[in-house]
Structure 1
Amino acid sequence: MAELEEVNADAAHAFKAYNPKVFCRAFMNTSIKSDAITNNMAETFNGYIINARTKHLIYMMEDIRVALMQRLVNKRKEMEKQNSGLCPRIQSILDKEKAKASNCDVLPSTEHIFNVRYYLDQLIVDLDAKTCTCKKWDMMGIPCCHALACIFFLNHEAEAYVDECYKTEVYLKSYAGSIPPIEGERHWPRIEMKIDPPPIKVGPGRPRKSRIRDPFEDPKRSGTLSRHGMEMTCTLCKTKGHNKRGCPQKGVIQPSEPAPKKARGRPRKETKPALLHPTMVLNQHPYITQFQLNQHS
């Protein structure tokens, strides 16, 4: 950011105006153990209830209740089968970092502070504070390869340094609750007071199923933004701000010829024409006499 402010102070001010704490990892709060900067959680749940959203309000809520009720039980059963103290996905991430730890050179400074050399980089690891210069351990709560090298240097277990939120016990506590079942509409209590449902107002057009897209998002390719806001470069005068169609020097500068396209496939070998015997020529062209063939030879 300091280098950006020296080059263009307005660009740095505009970047900070977009609240980088919600999308830039350098400004995020490290107490929240997550490096996700997208809204995938909301998009996933939206796809999870996409069929229920098309129904009436009561039946929509009933479908969502039944789906969540079953999901809580299934997730709890799957985690109870795990023998490891960590969640399976966290354990796989930790195993990948363990493979990289062999490339680190550990230099102890104190009992819990180390200097780690990783290829051409040099970092500081504090096991008590659970911090590393790369900030990966600070943000995710999973020890990076630099921290794992220090943990192995002390002959400690790597799983003991993983944040508590990734433990199997905490996962089971999160799914310990349950949604109670409900009787069907036939068994609901009846009352004497007549209650009419609110009037249903049907809007024009087909009900929306997909999410509201960004105004500059490409409708054909989901998740891809258009080239809006990008500064174009002219291929004639090499000046930014316009293209060759609106170039002021369009008739003055001759466009450079494009490079010839390479032929597809293997180049064909040149074959020399085969020499035919005079008798073969006479057989193919019966109107040619032997005298004309001798003169041509």
Structure 2
Amino acid sequence: MWTGVLVPKAQEVIAEQIEKSSFLHTVVWVAGKKYEIHEEMTHIVDLDARSCTCRVWWNSGLPCTHASAAIDHCHLQITDFCEPYFTVQAYRTTYATEFCPVPDSMPLTGELNRTVYPPNTKRPRQAD
């Protein structure tokens, strides 16, 4: 059974991000919990807003390499900055209730049983 805070796939992604973040050049405190991460480009990480200008954190729900560097710089736990649905607890809660499987095939009737054909359109002629 899983023993970590995060599900295994999320834990793998986080481990990769932490490894990559160790190669980032400089972490500079800006204000509050905002940091500049300097590498080829400069990225701004806001730990309170859980955002980075690279937008990976916002898109994936897991801290990006820049956020990982800032979190490590603050000596905080990276798992505290992951979206809750990546936790083992959320996974267990999701599948805790019983659910019934859907039958393999269901007879279709009425509108659901009709054949759908492609639209009757012609390609426009190209002008010379």
1:140 positional shift: 0.7
- Counterpart pick for 2:49 among 123, 129, 147: 129
The equivalent of 1:113 in structure 2 is 34
- Residues 100 and 178 of structure 1: CA distance in aligned 2, closer, same or farther (over 3 Å): same
Q: Deviations over 1:185-232 (max 9, x none)?
A: xxxxxxxxxxxxx9xxxxxxxxxxxxxxxxxxxxxxxxxxxxxxxxxx
Match of 2:64 among 117, 141, 144: 144
Q: What residue ranges of structure 2 are gaps of 5+ in the alignment?
A: 102-106, 108-128
User: Equivalents in 2 of 1:142, 1:160: separation in Å?
Assistant: 10
- Residue 83 of structure 1 deviates from its aligned partner by 0.5
Determine the C-alpha separation between the residues in 1 that align with 2:36 and 2:45.
6
The residue matched to 1:179 in structure 2 has which SS? coil
Letter in 2 for 1:115: E
Q: Deviations over 1:29-59 (max 9, x none)?
A: xxxxxxxxxxxxxxxxxxxxxxxxxxxxxxx
Q: Structure 2 CA distance, aligned partners of 1:91 and 1:110? A: 29
Give, as a single letter, the amino acid of the residue that structure 2 aligns with 1:149: A
Whole-Å separation in 1 of the counterparts to 2:100 and 2:17: 42
| Other structure's SS at 1:103 match | coil
Write 1 or 2 for the structure with the bigger share of helix.
Answer: 1
Query: Which deviations, in whole Å up to 9, do the C-alpha atoms of 1:125-180 show, x marking residues without a partner?
Result: 00000000100001111000100110011100111110001111110111111136
The answer to whether structure 1 residue 101 and structure 2 residue 35 are counterparts is: no
**Length-normalised TM-score, structure 2:** 0.75
Q: What pairs up with 1:102-251 in 2 under 5 angstroms? A: 102-104=22-24, 105-118=26-39, 120-179=40-99
The two structures have a TM-score, normalised by structure 1, of 0.33
Report the number of matched residues: 101
Hey, what's the Cα distance between the residues in 1 that align with 2:99 and 2:76? 41
Give the 3-state SS of the residue equivalent to 1:125 in structure 2. strand
Structure-2 separation of matches of 1:98 and 1:180: 40
Partner secondary structure for residue 109 of structure 1: strand
**CA distance in 2: counterparts of 1:180 and 1:131, whole angstroms:** 39
> Distance between the aligned counterparts of 1:168 and 1:94, measured in 2?
14
Distance 2:15 2:4 in 1: 13
* Matched residue type, 1:116: I
Structure number with greater CO (CA < 8 Å, separation at least 6) is 2
Match of 2:11 in 1: 91
Provide structure 1 residue ranges, at least 5 long, that are not aligned to the other structure: 1-80, 182-197, 199-297
Give the ranges of 4+ consecutive aligned residues of structure 1 lying more than 6 Å apart after TM superposition.
none
CA distance in 2, matches of 1:103, 1:180: 48
* Structure with the largest fraction of strand: 2
Q: Which has the larger radius of gyration?
A: 1
> CA 1:180–1:145 in structure 2 vs 1: closer, same or farther (change >3 Å)?
closer
Over aligned residues, Cα RMSD in angstroms? 1.6
Question: 1:41-81 CA deviation, whole Å, 9 max, x = no partner?
Answer: xxxxxxxxxxxxxxxxxxxxxxxxxxxxxxxxxxxxxxxx1
The SS at the match of 2:31 is coil
Amino acid at match of 2:37: V
